[in-house]
Amino acid sequence: GQNIDQPTEMTATEGAIVQINCTYQTSGFNGLFWYQQHAGEAPTFLSYNVLDGLEEKGRFSSFLSRSKGYSYLLLKELQMKDSASYLCAVMDSNYQLIWGAGTKLIIKP
Amino acid sequence: GAVVSQHPSWVICKSGTSVKIECRSLDFQATTMFWYRQFPKQSLMLMATSNEGSKATYEQGVEKDKFLINHASLTLSTLTVTSAHPEDSSFYICSARDTSGYTDTQYFGPGTRLTVL
């Protein structure tokens, strides 16, 4: 079966760095996505990785290792507004997105 | 990034009535759109995949006669919740697939909060 695993909840301190991990087992792979979802709002696109390595975009970076079925989202210089759920999703061989359950990130002052 | 709009943002209706939700891709053409439902503090649940000019593909357990999907153009898909009941109250979110760039990415609309009394 297809499976995406990520931690349910994480807590970090304002100004710090946090890494949210995602492991996956899917039928085929056409890219891995990270989305941010604030409570009561729809998800917003953060990043896309299809090749191994690190993609940096401002304070956010995303890493992919296809051989390990592993990705992480790295958030630097955390701000209170970064408190949200972070969703990992993999596009399978049918170009369908398989979603993780999301990681709720709590930022403390 | 690409922009997807959704209308209405929220709707309150009486039990037994039908509600139509529109999803539009504003600056790109989307041959494929997706409809999701999300209950409070739960994950996104894919309801159906909407392909322009053809019938939607529904996920297991989703009643196609209750959730009517029409994708009549490359920029518009509609979801009609027929004979709505209180248990249909949820956050409905659409996404549109943008394949025009170097990535194949889904962009989400802002969502529609449906409350059925």
Residue A102 contacts B, CB cutoff 8 Å: yes
With beta carbons under 8 A apart, name residues in chain B contacting A48: 103, 105
pLDDT for A3 beyond 70: yes
Rounded Cα–Cα distance for residues A87 and A99 (Å): 7
b/e sequence A67-77, b meaning 16+ C-beta within 10 Å: eebebbbebee
pLDDT for B103 beyond 80: no
Rounded Cα–Cα distance for residues A6 and A23 (Å): 7
Categorize the per-residue pLDDT at B1 as very low, low, confident or very high, splitting at 50, 70 and 90: low
Q: How many CB atoms lie within 10 A of CB A18?
A: 19
B91 and B81 Cβ atoms separated by less than 8 Å? no
Mean pLDDT of all residues in A34-38: 96
**CA–CA min distance B34, chain A (Å):** 10
pLDDT for A19 beyond 90: yes
pLDDT at A49 (0 to 100): 94
For B39-52, write each residue's pLDDT tens digit.
888 888 999 999 88
Please give the C-alpha separations between residue B56 and each of A47, B52, B83, B111, in angstroms, as whole numbers.
28, 9, 19, 19
Mutation target to probe the B interface, by most B beta carbons within 10 A, among A32, A60, A64, A97 is A97
CA atoms within 13 A on the CB side of A79: 4
**CA–CA min distance A48, chain B (Å):** 8
Cis before B8? omega within 30:
yes
Letter for the amino acid at A25? Q
* DSSP single-letter state for residue A31: -
pLDDT for B106 beyond 80: yes
A19 and A72 Cβ atoms separated by less than 8 Å? yes
* DSSP single-letter state for residue B59: P
Mean pLDDT of all residues in A66-93: 96
**CA–CA min distance B103, chain A (Å):** 8
